[in-house]
């Protein structure tokens, strides 16, 4: 049996937090759904740069590298091996939002163009989704809303949980013939309940991008040694300068002989002591591998499999890939469904509220005056406040405000 007073208290805070976060939740759902179409949107716009006509003999990768150096402001740090003959060779400098790629036509020995993530309208959608176009301040707002969403989902599941009298049918019942308020209330609660696990997984995949939680998670990875191995990205590995460097063509030939899964890249040495790296990017995460080679002798210095990656990093990468729908068509369709349904259940909750809201009042659920939160609930809030610091700070501010309000009411 549910504790009725606790149920009312949880419903009150579910209601308040939901009402405040609702516009942000709808925005996150819409922008997240749009961003899933990033590749479909960008492909035709970038085709004139990425796709080339096969004519004559292709120049060597070594010469393509030299062409790319002149087309980029910085020397490229990686090259993606083309999978098809009509595919331009991509040379990359920088990472993430600072990434810039020069595409080389190996048949005409020219660079048809450069592409950066910032060149696309989808970059604006991503920035709106992740930081409301407000920079670091916006990122923290999104982190605060995402933190409260965990609480909204947990409290929503408790408040919705059917009574013993309703039984199993309570998990599925949507009353279509008892008015719009009841209909939208049931759509909000029933669909929200059945989506709760998916929503928690989606949130878990987005949290590593946040400022405070993300930084704390990285710190935890470092102190527990559960992130990437230190040499995963060739950090600290050096070539012995001796003779002439191996050509990029030889490294490409070696990479192709490995039959690695997914997109295969060559990490390029940027200094005389730098190393060549061969690695693949695939969302069959277990198939990811990394190899580092002396750029002069070709000797393999270090190699890593996915099993060498720490458990927290593996979990983080899995949830981030899931969040972006990158595990194949099923994952993409699932995330699109989550985005659409999240927006729908948020709006359904708002419609239900507006239908029951008394005129001139907020209609906040009442909590019995004698109700006191138990130690278990306090412990859960404290733990959530530690895991999600912005949530913890917001709860502290709310508590102080409530205390001062009650004290003022008592004194008056």
CB 348 within 8 A of CB 181: no
Q: What is the pLDDT of residue 367?
A: 81
The pLDDT of residue 148 is 93
- Please tell me which residue, 357 or 266, carries the higher pLDDT value: 266
> Can you give the pLDDT at residue 348?
95
Together in a domain, 81 and 37 = no
Number of domain units in the chain:
3
CB burial of residue 20 (10 Å; 0-12, 13-18, 19+): middle
In degrees rounded to 5, what are phi and psi of residue 10? -65, -40
Is residue 139 assigned to a domain?
A: yes
* Tokens describing residue 249: 């063509």
pLDDT of 258 above 90: yes
Q: Per mean pLDDT, which of 15-24, 303-312, 352-361 is the most reliable?
A: 303-312
Partners of 396 in the β-ladder: none
The pLDDT-based confidence of 410 (bands split at 50, 70, 90) is low
**116 domain-assigned:** no
User: Is the pLDDT score of 291 beyond 70?
Assistant: yes
365 and 386 in a single domain? The answer is no
* 136 and 16 within one domain: yes
Domain match, 347 and 296 both? no
Same domain, 286 and 164: no
Residues 264, 216 within the same domain = no
Output the pLDDT for position 412: 62
The CB density around residue 391, as the number of other CB atoms within 10 Å, is 24
In this model, does residue 116 exceed pLDDT 80?
yes
pLDDT range class, residue 176, cuts 50, 70, 90:
very high
**Section 54-62 average pLDDT:** 96
User: Is the pLDDT reported for residue 301 higher than 90?
Assistant: yes
DSSP assigned state of 297: T
Domain containing 402 equals 372-412
- The residue among 309, 336, 359 that closes a domain is 309
404 has a pLDDT exceeding 90: no
Provide DSSP, 50-110. Answer: HB----SPPPPHHHHHHHHHHHSSS---EEEPPSSTTBPEEEEES-GGG-EEEEEETTTTE
Residue 259's pLDDT is 95
**Is there a single domain that holds both residue 24 and residue 166?**
yes
Average pLDDT, the chain: 93
Residue 114 domain flag: no
Residue ending a domain, choose from 309, 332, 358: 309
Number of other residues whose CB lies within 10 A of the CB of residue 221 = 17
Is residue 115 situated within a structural domain?
Answer: no
Least confident of 160-164, 258-262, 383-387: 160-164
Q: Per-residue confidence at 19, pLDDT binned at 50, 70, 90?
A: confident
Q: What is the pTM of this model?
A: 0.91
Q: Are residues 127 and 211 in the same domain?
A: yes
Those residues whose C-beta lies under 8 Å from the C-beta of residue 412, and which sit 6 or more positions away, are none
For residues 211-219, average pLDDT = 95
Among 13-17, 205-209, 315-319, 365-369, the least confident range: 365-369
Same domain, 139 and 35: yes
Q: Indicate if the alpha-carbon torsion angle 281, 287, 288, 293 is positive or negative.
A: negative
Say whether 278 sits in a helix, a strand or coil. strand
Q: Is the pLDDT of residue 409 over 80?
A: no
Give the confidence band of 221 by pLDDT, cuts at 50, 70, 90.
very high
Q: Are 143 and 210 in contact (CB under 8 A)?
A: yes
Q: What is the pLDDT of residue 1?
A: 60
Residue 117 inside a domain? The answer is no
Are 9 and 79 within one domain? Answer: no
Task: Say if residues 375 and 202 touch (Cβ distance below 8 Å).
Answer: no
What confidence score (pLDDT) does residue 129 get? 97
Instruction: Please indicate, yes or no, whether residues 157 and 42 belong to a single structural domain of this protein.
Output: yes
pLDDT of residue 368: 78
* Strand residue runs (E) in 147-284: 263-267, 275-281
Residue 295 lies in a domain: yes
Q: Is residue 329 part of a domain?
A: yes
For residue 113, being part of any structural domain is answered with no
Q: What is the pLDDT of residue 361?
A: 79
> Looking at the structure, do residues 243 and 279 belong to the same domain, yes or no?
yes
Cβ burial, residue 143 (10 Å; 0-12/13-18/19+): buried
Give pLDDT tens digits for 177-201: 999 999 999 999 999 999 999 999 9
Q: Which of 29, 118, 111, 106 is nearest to 71 (CA)?
A: 111
- What's the pLDDT tens digit per position in 339-362? 999 999 999 999 999 988 888 778
Q: What is the DSSP letter of 259?
A: T
Q: Check whether 304 has a pLDDT greater than 90.
A: yes
């Amino acid at each position: 049996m549910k504790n009725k007073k606790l149920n009312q208290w949880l419903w009150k805070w579910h209601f308040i937090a939901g009402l405040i976060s609702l516009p942000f939740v709808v925005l996150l759902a819409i922008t997240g759904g749009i961003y899933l179409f990033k590749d479909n949107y960008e492909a035709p716009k970038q085709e004139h740069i990425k796709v080339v006509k096969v004519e004559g003999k292709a120049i060597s990768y070594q010469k393509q590298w030299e062409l790319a150096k002149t087309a980029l402001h910085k020397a490229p740090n990686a090259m993606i091996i083309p999978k098809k003959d009509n595919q331009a060779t991509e040379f990359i400098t920088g990472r993430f939002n600072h990434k810039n790629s020069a595409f080389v036509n190996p048949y005409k020995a020219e660079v048809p163009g450069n592409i950066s993530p910032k060149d696309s309208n989808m970059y604006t959608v991503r920035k709106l989704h992740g930081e409301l176009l407000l920079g670091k301040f916006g990122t923290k707002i999104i982190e605060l809303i995402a933190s409260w969403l965990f609480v909204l989902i947990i409290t929503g599941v408790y408040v919705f949980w059917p009574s013993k009298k309703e039984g199993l049918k309570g998990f599925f019942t949507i009353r279509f013939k008892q008015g719009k308020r009841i209909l939208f209330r049931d759509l909000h609660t029933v669909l929200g309940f059945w989506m709760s696990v998916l929503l928690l997984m989606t949130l878990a995949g987005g949290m590593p991008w946040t400022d405070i939680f993300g930084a704390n998670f990285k710190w935890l990875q470092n102190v527990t040694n559960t992130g990437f191995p230190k040499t995963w990205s060739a950090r600290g590995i050096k070539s012995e300068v001796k003779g002439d460097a191996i050509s990029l063509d030889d490294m490409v030939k070696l990479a192709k002989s490995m039959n690695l899964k997914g997109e295969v890249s060559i990490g390029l040495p940027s200094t005389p002591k730098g190393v060549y790296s061969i690695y693949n990017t695939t969302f069959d995460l277990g198939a990811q591998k990394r190899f580092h080679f002396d750029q002069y002798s070709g000797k393999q210095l270090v190699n890593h499999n996915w099993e060498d990656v720490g458990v927290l990093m593996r979990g983080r990468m899995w949830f981030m890939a899931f969040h972006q729908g990158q595990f194949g068509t099923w994952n993409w369709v699932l995330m699109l469904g989550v985005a659409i349904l999240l927006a729908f259940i948020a709006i359904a909750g708002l419609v239900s509220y507006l239908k029951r809201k008394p005129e001139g009042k907020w209609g906040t659920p009442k909590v019995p005056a004698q109700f006191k939160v138990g130690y278990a609930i306090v412990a859960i809030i404290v733990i959530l406040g530690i895991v999600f610091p912005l949530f913890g700070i917001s709860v502290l501010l709310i508590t102080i405000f409530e205390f001062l309000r009650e004290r003022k009411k008592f004194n008056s």
